[in-house]
Structure formats: structure tokens, C-alpha cells
Chain A
Amino acid sequence: MKRSLRSWLWRVPLEQEFDEEIALHLEMRTRELIDAGMDPADARAAAIRKMGNVRSLKRECVGLGRKRDREMQVTLFLEELRDDIKFAFRQLAGAPAFTLVAVLTLALGIGANSAIFALVDATLLRPLPYPNPDRLVTIWEKSPATARGFASPPNMLDWNSRSRTFEKIAGFTPSVGNMVLAKPDGTAETVSRQWVTAGIFDVLGVPMIQGRAFTAEEEQKRARAVVFSEGLWETRFNRDPGIIGKDVKLDGELWTVVGVAPRHFEILGKTSMWAMRPFVNLPPRARASYQLQVVGRMKPGVAVAAAESDLAAVADGLSREFPEFNKDRGVALEPMHDTMVGSDLKTTSMLFLGVVGFVLLICCANVANLLLARATARSRELAVRSALGAGRRRIIRQLLTESVVLAVIGGALGVGVGAMILRVAPVLIPDGLLPGTVTLQFDMRVVAFCALTALVVGVLFGIAPAFQATAGAPTEAMGADTRTTTGGGGRIRSLLVVGEVATAVLLLFGAGLLLRTLIAVESFDRGFRAESVLTMLVDPLGSTYPTPETLRQFLARVEADTRALPGVQDVAWSSAVPLGESIFGEYPFTYDVVGDAPVEASRKPTTNYQIVSASYFSTLDLPIVAGRNFDARDTPTSPRVAIVNEAFAKTLGGRTPIGMQLSVAPADAAPTVKPTIVEIVGVAKQVKQRPDETSDFVQLYAPLGQDLVGDIILMVRSQGDRASALAPSIRAAIANIDRSQTTGVASVTTLEDVEWAATGRHRFRAVMVSSFAGLAVILAMVGVFGILAYSVQQRMRDFGVRRALGASTADVMRLVVGGAAKVVATGAIIGLILSAAFARLISTMLFGVQPLDFVTFALVTMVLVILAALSIAGPAMRAARIDPAQALRLK
């Protein structure tokens, strides 16, 4: 017996082995010495002396022996593994159809998972691309109205100077605006710009790829300094390092380019440049201007809670010092990563992760099913191996190796499938869902994920079949006809199919809810007609049109000239696009009804504020339901008027809005700012501002004749449906009026595209989940079909006997269909129960449909019945068409 088989056969403990060896040695040495004439006792003593320190020898030898055994086991294991893998490949090559189906199934499942993993990895798992990102926190200014409010610049400066737990605190404006960049050739171009405070690059720790960040001196001097993005530097300045320190003309003024920031800095907002907004010598009322999103870098080793209590103390001090602005105002901290990712993205990622996880489970169930069927066919082979001395554990190990090999091949293909999904997915991902320039990439992390998934999955789907296959006694299986060895395997297979159907139903239900949501947000009555309307942002330069009159003249000329273009039906100006962006933000104004009891400042109702030209309502087909439209009477010198929407009218407590006077002021204005008094002259129909808004939007329209805004949106309704075709002629018309070429035109799009983008998130979720649900359903159908076809095959002789004994075709069919229907129905019921439980989890993503929507329940059930019928039909027909005489002769 060789030692290499020790683990199986040798079985003598190392200590005993050594003792025996030494005992023999001593005995033989003693005997030799006696033979040489020594006294037996002396001989024994001499032999022991010559041996040396036996105890330390034993320790050394046993230690060496142990190491050897361990190495042996590893070698043996690796040898067996190599043999198993070789054997697995032979087995798989011998059953190409089985291998192909199993590998493709796994590739789909693992591929889908890897793509979603890439999304989750890029957003939730990966840290922000800044040094020590865990020390970055967003600091919100907390007020009675919101826990996540923007901060006023003086408060931010005081936080920075008075806190002890922060290295530095800086801020930026969350929205990205535009500036007109004058080009050397005399033309102008609109470039996106984000305002930042001087310290922002230091806080985030972004190294400039050219030049430097803003300095404190620049801020003190109120210098006009700007940092370009890598993108702008590349496309407009050809990566010319000479631009650093030069002046560029932005909005008619000279700004110094101090640096170029790398691409990943765009995470704060998609912009082409960052302009420094100096906050020095601020007037007291600036403390009430809440405009900055604030980021702080904590000192090393400071916990968020400690930083929060430190800043809270600072904020308390500020409340006492400046009660008229800071009463009841505090701070709230949040890791910056959480701010950047956002709850919407988090829930969407988790939803997808759950969905693809279920898809993978179905894939596993299907492959497990195939393996079970194969194990039955291979039962004789396994019995022979078992009879030849292979232990059950050894056979299970071999079968598991086979399934892992299968999974690894599937995983390798899955990497390809995942890469393909990631290639097409970005088209589907709506703008703004991913923070900044975060892109999905297929990298080693995704590959590692695939490898790990493949291993886990291989064991997962292999374990049941392996145990099943080795359960019977070898003699039984060897002697038996394969037909009789289906019993237990059949039960596991039924369970697997029940699980598959249940999971598929669950996913179908989820997809149904999300599709109903998509339909709801897309077909919802927005109150206006979006078709054939072109919109563009027009940004006339302030210095070219220094007075309101000159600017109004310019706008009026653009409107008149555009109206004269062929194909144009109507033209309007507006400060906001419905479902799209507003120049002012969401609820920027507070209002009081003149004559009502005064309301405390923090309790005042707020309203959306939109400046429109008189033609706005006709351009959007938006009816005025009461009162009048704006017209030529509404001039800068006439009494201020306003049109409110239906939701606004409802806030007036049943009073007639027309003729009512309102006192309107910007929500962030200091208490000293005098509100404007306006008279309501009309009520416009309600318009949706967001596709999934649950409460009606309160809106106030002001006439362009009485109020103005620097950047304004031109809306043009075309006569045909080719609104976008009008863009070049409109641009030409504007250029023709604005001889100095300083007017920027940007964001040229159609209202339909704006709508499409507004419903993007819902579409993204619905499309993704539906695709995965579709995949799941197909896989489940394959599963049902597979098990049924197989069991019909196995029971051919049984059916033949029944037919011979007088059973009709219908009887046999009933037998097959009945069994299958029971399995499918059980799965469906479990699936529907699970759906009811899981639906609540996605309730925040739903709109216009209840989590327990009856229509969806009914539709899913219907789809299921049809699909089940399709997959059952084939095998049932086959069973029915059986020729009894032939079936009886089947082996």
C-alpha cells in the first residue's frame, strides 16, 4: 500500500507510526549490542543514548509528516479536480444539445446580472472620485419648511470660519445656467456655467489638469475668474495650455481662465465651466438668500455625528445673532455620496438587482431541471462507478464539478452578454438618473462578479441533482430499467417548476404595474397640446440690451419675425417649459391675498412663477377658463396683473379670483423687500409641471409686458408636424435682428421631446423590468415544456397500456394536462401571493395605479394561462397521438 493513498487507506496516526519505527530501531540496536557481547540493560541504555532526544525528534518528525499529509491532500484534491474537470468536459461534449441549452440559459442569467451589477457598482458601491471621499458631507440648511434646504452665503461662510471639525466648507449653485462666450471670429456661443465658491476645488480635492483653483485673494479682490471643464477645453480650445491666465469674454465681460478641471469633476452638475462667485462684504439681507448647496471636508478621524453636533452649535449661535433671518434654522449633514446618488437611483438600482436576481434563480431552476433529467438517464453510469468503489461524496463532488464547469462556461459567455447590454443600455438611461458624468463601464470588477456568480450558481443548481442522482442503492439502479427511476426526481422537478412559475408571475406582475404607471404618466392630460411645438432658450446679452425697453423691443421683433416665417402657426415667450425647466425653480414666490389677515412669514403659501407673453396660452392650446388673457393693455406702467391656474384658484377658499389683489414676493427675499401687488385678471386651465405629480401645481403667470427675465424660452408652434425643421430659419431670423451676434441660442428641442425626457425614468424602469420579466416568462415556459415533454416520454409505455385497456385519447390528454395544470396553477397562486407582498416595495415608483391593481392581476393571470396552454399543448398532443401497440414495445 502506497502512502499516496494514505488519506483513504493508511489510517495509522503519525504519532503511532513514529513510535513504532523508533521502537523497532531501538530493539534492533539493542539486539546488535547484545550480540556484540554487551549486558542487555547496558545495551538498551546505549541504544537509547545513541538515539538522542526522542521527544524532540518526535515533535520534528510528526510535524514534517503532518505538513506532508496536508500537501498530499491538496495535491490529491487538485489531481482529482483536474480529472473531474476533464471528465466534465467529455460529458458535456457528449451531450451537445443539453450543454448548449444550459450554457445559453446561464449566459443570459449571468449576463443580465452583470449588467445590473455594473449599474449598482457605478452608483451605489463605488466611492466618489475624490480623495478620502468618506470625509465629504453635504451640509443642508434646515428650516421649519425643509430638512434639506440650500444655505445662504453668509451662513456658509460662518460655518466655515466657526466650525472646528471641518478642514474647509464651500458651496455651489445646484442649477447650471448659461453664459454667452464671445469667440474670436465675432460669433457668440452659449456655454453652460455653474456658480461655485472659491474653496470648492480645495474641499473636493480635485487636482487641476491645467492651471490652478481659485484663490482667497481672487475672492477678496472680487476677481472674475473661471475654471474650464476638460470637455470645453478640448472642444473649444483644442487642449491649448496657453489659455491659462488669458481673459475670455463671457456675457460681455472679461473673465480670467485660471484652470482646467478633469472630467470627473462634472459630478456636481453637467457644465462646461465653473465661475467663481465671490462672497465678501455681503449686505445683511444676503443671509436670507438661500442659494448654495454646501459641501464640507471633515478633518481626518471626525465622525459625521461629531461634525453635525459641532455645526449645530455654530448654527445655534447664528440663530441667536441673527434672529430676523436665522430663527428656527439649523443644519443637517449627509454623506456626500448619498446626496449624489439620490433615493430615486437607489430604489431603481435595488429594483433591477432584485429582478435580475429572480431571473437568475429561474435560470438555475431550469438548468437544475435539465441536470435532473440527465441524472436519471445517467443513473446506470453512476451506479457502475459507485459499485466500483467511488463513495457517494466523491460522486457528488464529481457531479458538482460538472455543474460548476457548466456555470463557468455560461459565466464566460455571460460576460459577453453583459458587455452587450451595457453597450445598448445608455440609450435607455434617462438624463439625470445617473449623477454627473458617472458612466457604466465594463471592467474587471464586473468580470469578477461574473466569475463569483458562476461559481455560486454552479453549486446552487447542481446540488439538488447531485444528491438526487446518488440517492438510490447502486444495485437497484443497475438492474433497473431507466423508466422506473423517475420517482423522487420528478417531485423535485415539479417543485422547481412551481418555483419558476411563481417567480415569473411575480416579475410579470411587477412589470405590469410599471407599464401601467408608464401608460398613466404618458397619457395623463397635461392640459396643453405638446405636439408640433419647438422650444429654445434665447439668451440676449445684457450689455447689448441694457434697458427693459430695448430688451422688450428685441423680444417683440424676434416674435414678429418668427411669426412671419413660413410654416409657423404661433409664437410665444415663456420663462419655463411645462414638464421641463423653469428659469426660476419650483416654488420661488410667496403670496398673500390683500385684505386677508397677515400670515406669519414662514407659513406663507408659495407659488410657481412664470413669465409669459400673451400668445403663450394660444401657442400651447391652453384655455383661459375665466377672465381675460394678457394683452396690449398690460404695460410696464399699467397696474400689475396676473393669471392664476385652477389649483391656485382653489387655494382662495371659494372666492372669485378675478379682481382679487395679491401681494407677491420672492420666497428668499429679505423681509425688507417690498412685495409686488398684482390683480388677478384670468384663470388658466391646470397644467402638469411633472408627469407624476400627485398634487396639483399652484401657478401664477405674469405678463412679459410687466416683468422680464434675462434668459427666456421661445416657443413656436408649427403648422405641420415638423416643428424641429423650423429651427434653422428661426436661428437665422434671430441672427438677422441681433447684428452684434451676442445672443446665445441653446437647448433647441420640441415639447414632445421634453415630455419624453420627463417620463424617462418611468419608461426606463418599465422597459427594463418588462424585458427581464419577458425573459423570465420564456425561461419558465421552457421549464414547464421541458419537464412535461420529459415526463410524457418517460410514461409512454404507461399511456400505451392505458390506451390498450380502453382509455380514450381525451383520457390520456386529461392525465397529462391535469398534472401540468396543477403544477402551473400552484406556481401561479404562490406567485400572485408573493406579488401582493412585494408590490408594496415598489409603491413609490408607481403612479396612477395601486400596488394591488386588479387589472394587472387579471392580465397576468390571462397571460399565464395562455402561455401555460402553449407550453403544455405540445407534450399533451404527443401523449394523445400515441399508438398503443408501438408504445408497449418501447423499452
Chain B
Amino acid sequence: MPPTTAKTPNALLHGALDALILKTLTRGPSHGYAIARFIEETTGDAFLIEDGSLYPALYRLERKGWVEAEWGTSELGRRAKLYRLTAAGREQLAAEMATWKKFATGVTKVFAT
């Protein structure tokens, strides 16, 4: 699936969670809770989400082919569903990051005036 580009800022904010998940998964396959924790820690709670909203996002990303699910083992030794970034997901992340940077630079320039 080709990466989605040319997003309006509105959709950008909406898609921020998707981008964060993809970015998280660049560190390796993780289960849902680990992804949630990582986002909490790295954003310093700037990005407050309900734990629940993470899962529809994961399912959506899986449907788009950007992440893949497989059964693995959690830290507790239990069976856990692990999400892994696909090649398409990696491309999508790069595109998202580029768009985001352009947007942020633009906004920053406006603020700097």
C-alpha cells in the first residue's frame, strides 16, 4: 500500500496516534500495553489518551497493512499478540514524519514572527 501523503493539518492531528504507534514499533515488535507505556513515557503525558483508543488504531493499521500481528510471549510469560512494523508501515511513517516536520516548521515560523 502506498504511503498516504498530502494530509490536511486536521487529519494530521487525528493521524498523530497512528504515527506515534508506527514510530514506537520501529524499536521492534511490541504488544499493545508496551506501545501505550512507551507513548506515555516519551511524550511525558503530553499526549493523553485512553488506553482503549489504542486498539482500534492498531486494528486499523493492521487492516492497512502497515503493521502485522503475530503471537509471541509477553514479559509475564503469557501468550501475547505482538505488533510488528511492515515495510509499507515504515514507508508510511517516513511520509508522516516528513509531512509533520513541514507542518511544524510552518507553524513555528508563524509563531516566531
Q: Given the complex, which residues of B lie within 8 Å of A61, measured CB to CB?
A: 55-56, 59
Min CB distance A776 to B, Å, is 53
Do B70 and A21 have beta carbons less than 8 Å apart?
Answer: no
Min CB distance A759 to B, Å, is 69
Q: Given the complex, which residues of A lie within 8 Å of B12, measured CB to CB?
A: none
Please provide the chain A residues from 339 to 392 with a CB less than 8 Å away from any CB of chain B in the complex. none
Query: Is A564's CB within 8 Å of the partner chain B?
Result: no
Query: Is B109's CB within 8 Å of the partner chain A?
Result: no
Min CB distance B83 to A, Å, is 10
Query: Is B47's CB within 8 Å of the partner chain A?
Result: no
Do B76 and A27 have beta carbons less than 8 Å apart?
Answer: yes
Count, A-B residue pairs, CB within 8 A: 75
Do B56 and A50 have beta carbons less than 8 Å apart?
Answer: no
Query: Is A580's CB within 8 Å of the partner chain B?
Result: no
Query: Is A101's CB within 8 Å of the partner chain B?
Result: no
Query: Is B91's CB within 8 Å of the partner chain A?
Result: no
Query: Is A29's CB within 8 Å of the partner chain B?
Result: yes
Do A3 and B69 have beta carbons less than 8 Å apart?
Answer: yes
Interface size class of B (residues with CB under 8 A): 20 to 34
- Indicate with 1 or 0, residue by residue over A844-887, a CB within 8 angstroms of chain B CB atoms: 00000000000000000000000000000000000000000000
Min CB distance A862 to B, Å, is 69
Closest to B55 in A: A61
Min CB distance A469 to B, Å, is 36
Query: Is A53's CB within 8 Å of the partner chain B?
Result: yes
Query: Is A60's CB within 8 Å of the partner chain B?
Result: yes
Closest to A31 in B: B76
Given known A17-B81, A57-B56, A64-B60, contact A50–B32 (CB-CB < 8 A): no
Query: Is A68's CB within 8 Å of the partner chain B?
Result: yes
Provide the bound-state CA to CA distance between A54 and B37, in Å: 19
Given known A27-B76, A28-B33, contact A68–B71 (CB-CB < 8 A): no
Do B55 and A53 have beta carbons less than 8 Å apart?
Answer: no
Min CB distance A341 to B, Å, is 54
Query: Is B28's CB within 8 Å of the partner chain A?
Result: no
Which interface residue of A18, A21, A29 has the most chain B CB atoms within 10 A?
Answer: A21
Please provide the chain B residues from 16 to 56 with a CB less than 8 Å away from any CB of chain A in the complex. 31-33, 36-37, 50-53, 55-56
Q: Given the complex, which residues of B lie within 8 Å of A639, measured CB to CB?
A: none
Provide the bound-state CA to CA distance between A64 and B37, in Å: 24
Q: Given the complex, which residues of A lie within 8 Å of B37, measured CB to CB?
A: 32
Given known A61-B59, A71-B63, contact A21–B51 (CB-CB < 8 A): no
Do B50 and A24 have beta carbons less than 8 Å apart?
Answer: no
In addition to A24-B80, A65-B62, 20 A-B residue pairs with Cβ atoms within 8 Å of each other are A12-B71, A20-B79, A21-B55, A22-B55, A24-B76, A24-B81, A25-B32, A25-B33, A28-B75, A29-B51, A32-B37, A47-B51, A51-B51, A57-B52, A57-B56, A61-B55, A61-B59, A64-B60, A68-B59, A68-B62
Q: Top 10 nearest A-B pairs by Cβ distance?
A: A52-B52, A64-B59, A68-B63, A52-B50, A25-B33, A28-B33, A61-B59, A57-B52, A51-B51, A51-B52
A/B interface sample: 30 pairs, CB < 8 A: A2-B68, A2-B70, A4-B68, A20-B81, A21-B32, A21-B80, A22-B55, A24-B31, A24-B33, A24-B76, A24-B80, A24-B81, A25-B36, A25-B51, A28-B74, A28-B76, A29-B33, A29-B51, A50-B50, A52-B50, A52-B51, A52-B52, A53-B52, A54-B52, A57-B56, A60-B59, A61-B59, A64-B56, A64-B59, A68-B63
